Structure 1
Amino acid sequence: MATFLLEVGTEELPADFVDEALEQWRSRIPQSLAAHYLNPESIEFYGTPRRLAVLIWGLPPRQPDQREDIKGPPAQAAFKDGKPTKAAEGFAQKQGVDLASLEIRATEKGDFVFARKMIVGKPTAEILTQLVPEWITNLEGRRFMRWADGDLRFPRPIRWLVTLLDSEVLPIELVNGSQSCRGDRLSQGHRVLHPQPVEIPHAEEYVRVLDAASIQVNVEKRRSLIERQVEEAAAQMGGVALINPDLLEEVTNLVEYPTAVVGKFDPEFLELPPEVIITEMESHQRYFPVLKQVGSSDLLPYFITVSNGDPDKANIIVAGNERVIRARLSDGKFFFNADRAHPLESYLPKLETVTFQADLGSVRAKVDRLCRVADQIADQLKVKKRQDIQRAALLCKADLVTQMVGEFPELQGVMGEKYARASGESEAVAVAIFEHYLPKGAGDRLPETLAGQVVGLADRLDTLVSIFGLGMLPTGSSDPFALRRAANAIVNITWAANLSLNLNHLIEQVTTDFAQSFQTVMKLSLEELRQQLQDFFLQRIRTLLQEDREVDYDLVNAVLGENDPEYAERALNDLLDVRDRALFLQSIRNDGTLEKIYETVNRSSRLAAQGDLNTTSLEPTSLVNPKLFQQPSEQAFYNALVKLVPQTQIARAKRDYRKLVNALADIAPTVSQFFDGPQSVLVMDSDPDIRRNRLNLLGLLRNHARVLADFGAIVKA
């Protein structure tokens, strides 16, 4: 068995591409090998800023031989009176097999002639020589470039290739215009610590040889080493490191030989908000901040940087980084003091100079729309004292034009909260300004105050209506205005805070206002705009219930309806109710209750579909005529429905769906007698009045069950 090494050496790659490329290889290389009948024992993937590598262990020396059955002409054309015809002879000659080896086999289209061929496997070296260029050139990502005079595209110029099958160099070449890069056994060591090329005698020696050249090629080991060094360095300073997982991933792919180095800054900068210092360190300098203790936001005047240079030159590295962070924090201090010299409200006029979207005007205009939407939401929630909501809505974007947020856009909302306090705004307003941006990403916390919730909902709903109104709907992976995230946030905030919102009514109000203000740029009619938004929200609700709340897909269909406008409207009219019904259905499936009522309701619903009763009526006294009953089972069914009415009404009014399900379980034996008991009836009686009477009984039962869900959409376990 053989071991193959491929190393693609480059100029320093973008940090995010290293993980992306290795992930693509993890998926594609095993599939590529399997497609050529090569099944290695294991595959290892390595990457640093200057190289991507794959080490494939346990490759067979060649492909296994393959038997292939090839279909030929129909048997009656290939043989006549038991003797081969020219058709058979030509087929055998074309396939390179003996005429006598042809077989006749039965197929769906009759008897045909088949030839069985033995395809001799190719040497593994030959297959790899064919596949490796595809593995490299088929990688995808952002910011690809061309270099020299060729058309080869890669994130950075490719400088060397190592292509070893055991100790043999495979003749693999990447041609790029007048230049080419040929496979070799020479790799490159660390730029500073081992600038000389290194020779890899055997593929299995790759990790050892690179380690000796000060290169840690294993991404996981390099990440663990960095994390441990950073934690130890922070502990030596009497604190704990704040290790942002995203920053750790980035730093891991910025260095080949990591060394954690501690620097310090003037304690006077600790007067800055910790968010400013942390953002400066993490986003701009790739430093790890040091906290006083776990869970604290108090910082120590230290930072930890991960060097890719000579550990013996740590003092020089530290001095350079300290100069940089001092200058950056000095700028931050200046911005902070300059911004606080003016009340937050004074920045509102400057928002008129910031464009939200070309056709939608300035951010200041968006704030005005946002304020109106916040009022409409407060009206629905029957909020009487709404001064904090109105003030937070007015000021929520003011910090966008401050110097600090201009330098650190990721601090929007954070600085707004602090500047609001400094301006004498109430604590509720300050917190709401920060919270209205929440959640900022998956797993982020949601706003906890009513003002933050309302302003956050208003901001996102205005964005959705405005961008949809321009016809700029998200498609595939393209969602430049993060509309999916905005809709998800609206649903999640409503659910988490248990806000009694009628989203349909809000959509109607906001779209009407939008149409009046932006008639000339609207790309959709008012009805089309509303329908698009409703469909979009329904899809987000579906996704959130299935993925985040882990509700089975068919139960989600049952509460949202499959092409059922009644359920779709009901879901958007009451987001809390659709959530509760979905979760309740999942719970009764899990505890077995659903199975007890499923057959009764579903059988009734299927037959009721042949009648003409609407799907909303619940009262049997006006829809069923007891004088048409022919069997006691009909009367029993009718009586049970009469008793069911108040139970369903209570369940619907109080959302006590357990009461409804219990009532449906109680009626199930009665319905079973109606269908299959000694006094059962034929629903589809020849008398149209009797038939309709019985179908109405079933339709009423279906309608009671529909208060919970469309049982026809539920798949029986």
Structure 2
Amino acid sequence: MTKDLLLEIGMEEVPARFVRAAVEQLADKISKWLNSIHVDHKQVEIFGTPRRIAVRIHEVAEKQQDVNEEVKGPSHKIAVDEQGNWSKAALGFAKSQGSDPSQLFIKEVANVQYVHAAKQSIGVATDSLLSEGLTSVISSLNFSKNMRWGSHEMKFVRPIRWLVALFGEAIIPLEMAGIVSGRTTRGHRFLGENVDISSAAVYESSLKAQFVLANIDEREQLITKQIQDLAAEKGWTIAMKPDLLEEVIFLVEYPTVLFGTFDPDFLRIPQQVLITSMREHQRYFPVLDDNGSLLPFFVTVRNGNSVALEQVAKGNEKVLRARLQDARFFYQEDQKMSIESALNRLETIVFHEELGTVGDKVRRIVEISNALAQLLELDRSLSSQVQRAAEICKFDLVSLMVYEFPELQGIMGEDYAHKAGESDVIAKAILEHYQPKFSGDASPSGIIGAIVSIADKMDSIVGCFSIGIIPTGSQDPYALRRQAAGIVQILIDQGLAAKLSDLFTIAIQTHQKAGLLKRGSEEVSKDLMDFFALRVKNVLTERQTRYDIIDAVLAAGFDSLPAVVRKAAALTDYVQTADFKSTLESFNRVGNLAAKASVYEVNVALFQEPAEIELNSAWKATHDSFLEQLANANEADALTTLSKLKAPITAFFDGVMVMAEDEQVKQNRLALLYNIAADLKQVADFSKLNS
């Protein structure tokens, strides 16, 4: 027999960003606990609103499984005495397991005989375990922020106000922070009433009658449909940003979509400012026309029904008007600020107590950017633009608008730079040097923004590494992983020839000159290379590259990231060819023997067999074209060129005794293989590939 299990924790309003994670954690912990005590169950459902998290588990067995198990004890040598009787060790083991000595037996494990005890546990009724188990589960929930309330010692995300715990129709007795469980839950704060849940099966329907849609997916679908219907009716495009939709889902229990208007005069403010103000302050969805231009409307979601929606809309319009007036004031005041005065104010903002001010950081960005421009051999005009963009890339950080909305950094910089008379290229670079901001975001479109972006990110990474701040585990307070991934993405997307080691050297020397390097440069450089190796591996994994191909190309070096991507692509194609397996075997035989070489120059006068003469001629015929193809970023053709050596390599191993008795002859043959292996290693470590 089975019953449904329901647990609802009712609280004061929980911040929207915590709800989904909290209820998923609760479901996971209950499911794992039931499994650990051998109680069968089926589907696990989650429910969550601003005031509750709940889990319903279907078809929970009314009784634990009977468990028969064998427990391993001491070895046979210790367990049996000279007379063949159980020793004290065996008898002690039986007692510790609650077994009669007659239940002990010998069983072989990994070629060694051990005494075992047969144990049988008779399952007990599930309801006798639920009170203690669920109390333990609730107590074990953890949140990024906790609070205490009243005189209770318990910490939780928000004060608990009610508990519903049912096994079928029966109440599971629980007590947490003075709250005793029952079957009474609370409906919508204004539209509903308290309601008794007769059984776990009717949880959703009982709450729906009290204007609470407890099902998360149902609320999301209802909000989305209402917004889509409104958009179709008005001919609008309503921008539903996923993270905003996710937040709104957990701000309401009974959603009703409505729209309002604002003064079109506000549209003189940059569109992104208005959208950010609506989203961040009011949780409104902006309304756009077919061209993506903002219209003087907004869409919001009410926590309630459709009664008096016009009044609700007017109230929202009044609040939004005040927000937009603030935004307009900030925008107008910011335009009174010159770029030079803004740069001076950066000297008062601490970037990091050991790395100086933002002004100090900007000077390092300028130095790194100039060195990168020189490394990439940019002409004088582009180099000048790189320097100017680097000099002013952070000036908007002191603006009122960015202070109010930090996510507008760069966006306001581009707008204010335009208004201050900077060129389109410089203004665009200010915006783009923050890109990519997250996984999947676009890289800078131009070389100016790309260089300044790399310089900015590399300065942060090297600065932190130089003072010992290196991400460990999940801890990465300065988002160094994201910034390193951004550098990797830019180098690949732009196809930049700059090597990682050169970037490290430039940034390390910049910090060294500033007196900021607290660790040895070689140590920092090694840590950086290890750190970036994981980022490169992630990029290749995201491109659906086989794991063995990733290992093979990274083992050959990843200093040039565009080359790594091309090598991985070339190998991905090559491993699917008919000759791959036999070619790989030949290459790996070459690599294995080449490792034994102690002489690296071939003496043709020492050749004795036609096959070694032929292999040497074949290698010399391909070597120069192979290097040229690599230099021209044509790794696919370079790999094809290498594959032409398969036949002479095979003939060599069939007709030549490599490890000859004559040491000179042997070393000469190993040197030949070493030369071939050296070319192979420029593409990949073929020994890491699966045939």
Name the aligned partner's letter for residue 446 of structure 1.
S
Q: Of 664, 675, 678, which residue of structure 1 is paired with 2:642?
A: 664
| Equivalence for 1:533 | 528
| Equivalence for 1:56 | 57
User: Structure 1 pair 3/507, CA: closer, same or farther in 2 (3 Å)?
Assistant: same
Structure 2 residue 688 is the aligned partner of structure 1 residue 702 = no
Q: Of 366, 373, 383, which residue of structure 1 is paired with 2:361?
A: 366
* CA distance, structure 2, for counterparts of residue 91 and residue 558 of structure 1: 51
Please show how residues 510-659 of structure 1 align to structure 2 within 5 Å.
510-518=507-515, 521-546=516-541, 548-561=542-555, 567-568=556-557, 571-572=558-559, 574-592=560-578, 594-613=580-599, 623-659=601-637
Q: What SS class does the counterpart of residue 118 from structure 1 fall into?
A: strand
Task: Report the TM-score when normalising by structure 2.
Answer: 0.94
User: Structure 1 pair 370/114, CA: closer, same or farther in 2 (3 Å)?
Assistant: closer
Structure 2 residue 689 is the aligned partner of structure 1 residue 711 = no
* CA distance, structure 2, for counterparts of residue 349 and residue 532 of structure 1: 35
* Count of aligned pairs: 687
Name the aligned partner's letter for residue 570 of structure 2.
F
Name the aligned partner's letter for residue 665 of structure 1.
S
* CA distance, structure 2, for counterparts of residue 277 and residue 38 of structure 1: 54
* CA distance, structure 1, for counterparts of residue 569 and residue 444 of structure 2: 23
Please show how residues 185-196 of structure 1 align to structure 2 within 5 Å.
185-194=183-192, 196=193
Structure 2 residue 69 is the aligned partner of structure 1 residue 68 = yes
* CA distance, structure 2, for counterparts of residue 517 and residue 456 of structure 1: 20
| Equivalence for 1:298 | 293
Alpha-carbon deviation of 1:47? 0.8
Name the aligned partner's letter for residue 555 of structure 1.
I
User: Structure 1 pair 145/693, CA: closer, same or farther in 2 (3 Å)?
Assistant: same
**1:15-56: CA deviation from partner (whole Å, max 9, x where unpaired):** 111111233244433332222222212111111111111111
**Contact kept in structure 1, 2:626 and 2:642, CA below 8 Å:** no
Alpha-carbon deviation of 1:63? 0.9
Q: What SS class does the counterpart of residue 68 from structure 1 fall into?
A: strand
**1:656-698: CA deviation from partner (whole Å, max 9, x where unpaired):** 233333333222122212223xxx2322222211211221222
Alpha-carbon deviation of 1:285? 0.8
* CA distance, structure 1, for counterparts of residue 173 and residue 272 of structure 2: 54
Q: What SS class does the counterpart of residue 645 from structure 2 fall into?
A: helix
* CA distance, structure 1, for counterparts of residue 82 and residue 467 of structure 2: 72
* CA distance, structure 2, for counterparts of residue 90 and residue 378 of structure 1: 77
Q: What SS class does the counterpart of residue 575 from structure 2 fall into?
A: helix
Alpha-carbon deviation of 1:183? 1.9
| Equivalence for 1:564 | none
Which sits farther off after the overlay, 82-91 or 374-383?
82-91
Name the aligned partner's letter for residue 181 of structure 1.
I
* CA distance, structure 2, for counterparts of residue 539 and residue 288 of structure 1: 38
* CA distance, structure 1, for counterparts of residue 489 and residue 46 of structure 2: 39
Alpha-carbon deviation of 1:72? 5.5
Please show how residues 356-395 of structure 1 align to structure 2 within 5 Å.
356-384=351-379, 385-386=381-382, 387-395=384-392
Name the aligned partner's letter for residue 258 of structure 2.
V
Which sits farther off after the overlay, 681-690 or 486-495?
681-690
Give me the CA root mean square deviation. Answer: 2.4
User: Structure 1 pair 104/79, CA: closer, same or farther in 2 (3 Å)?
Assistant: farther
Structure 2 residue 663 is the aligned partner of structure 1 residue 688 = yes
User: Structure 1 pair 3/374, CA: closer, same or farther in 2 (3 Å)?
Assistant: same
**1:325-362: CA deviation from partner (whole Å, max 9, x where unpaired):** 10111111112122223443442222222222223222
Q: Of 480, 483, 488, which residue of structure 2 is paired with 1:491?
A: 488
Please show how residues 36-435 of structure 1 align to structure 2 within 5 Å.
36-71=37-72, 101-107=103-109, 111-174=113-176, 176=177, 180-194=178-192, 196-293=193-290, 296-384=291-379, 385-386=381-382, 387-435=384-432
Q: What SS class does the counterpart of residue 311 from structure 1 fall into?
A: coil
- % same residue: 38
Alpha-carbon deviation of 1:646? 2.4
Alpha-carbon deviation of 1:634? 2.2
**Contact kept in structure 1, 2:339 and 2:420, CA below 8 Å:** yes
Alpha-carbon deviation of 1:163? 0.9
**Contact kept in structure 1, 2:508 and 2:517, CA below 8 Å:** no
* CA distance, structure 1, for counterparts of residue 639 and residue 27 of structure 2: 49
User: Structure 1 pair 364/201, CA: closer, same or farther in 2 (3 Å)?
Assistant: same
**1:550-608: CA deviation from partner (whole Å, max 9, x where unpaired):** 222332222222xxxxx44xx32x22222222222222224455434211010111111
**Contact kept in structure 2, 1:392 and 1:432, CA below 8 Å:** yes
* CA distance, structure 1, for counterparts of residue 218 and residue 112 of structure 2: 61
Task: Report the TM-score when normalising by structure 1.
Answer: 0.90
Q: What SS class does the counterpart of residue 312 from structure 1 fall into?
A: coil
Name the aligned partner's letter for residue 591 of structure 2.
S
Q: What SS class does the counterpart of residue 672 from structure 1 fall into?
A: helix
Name the aligned partner's letter for residue 583 of structure 1.
A
* CA distance, structure 1, for counterparts of residue 530 and residue 125 of structure 2: 55
* CA distance, structure 2, for counterparts of residue 538 and residue 400 of structure 1: 32
Alpha-carbon deviation of 1:433? 1.2
* CA distance, structure 2, for counterparts of residue 702 and residue 651 of structure 1: 17
* CA distance, structure 2, for counterparts of residue 654 and residue 610 of structure 1: 32
**Contact kept in structure 1, 2:367 and 2:510, CA below 8 Å:** no
| Equivalence for 2:443 | 446
Which sits farther off after the overlay, 449-458 or 129-138?
129-138
* CA distance, structure 1, for counterparts of residue 12 and residue 373 of structure 2: 56
User: Structure 1 pair 87/343, CA: closer, same or farther in 2 (3 Å)?
Assistant: closer
**1:75-100: CA deviation from partner (whole Å, max 9, x where unpaired):** 68558767778887777677666665
Which sits farther off after the overlay, 599-608 or 64-73?
64-73
Which sits farther off after the overlay, 199-208 or 147-156?
147-156
User: Structure 1 pair 556/265, CA: closer, same or farther in 2 (3 Å)?
Assistant: same
* CA distance, structure 1, for counterparts of residue 284 and residue 464 of structure 2: 38
Please show how residues 4-15 of structure 1 align to structure 2 within 5 Å.
4-15=5-16
User: Structure 1 pair 693/301, CA: closer, same or farther in 2 (3 Å)?
Assistant: same
Name the aligned partner's letter for residue 185 of structure 1.
R
Which sits farther off after the overlay, 231-240 or 413-422?
231-240
Q: What SS class does the counterpart of residue 46 from structure 1 fall into?
A: strand
**1:622-649: CA deviation from partner (whole Å, max 9, x where unpaired):** x223443343222222222222222322
For structure 2, the 5+ residue unaligned runs are none
